[in-house]
Amino acid sequence: EARMSREAWGRATDASDLVHGEGQQGLARDPTQPEPPEEAGGRA
């Protein structure tokens, strides 16, 4: 559980950082996020 929480938190932080930094372009080419940016796009 701790590991999952940490991973999820890291992912959310990374996505947020990219959204505020480079925007969708950063998310699209983010190698640490193989999954589609559904969460980021949903709350963006």
37 to 1, 7, 8, 22, 33: CA distances (angstroms): 22, 15, 13, 14, 8
Q: Indicate if the pLDDT at residue 39 is higher than 80.
A: no
Is 42 or 31 the better-scoring residue by pLDDT?
31
5 — pLDDT class (breaks 50, 70, 90)? confident
Separation of alpha carbons 44 and 27, rounded Å: 12
Q: What is the pLDDT of residue 10?
A: 80
Q: What is the pLDDT of residue 12?
A: 79
- pLDDT per residue as tens digits for the range 6-36: 888 788 777 777 666 655 555 555 566 566 6
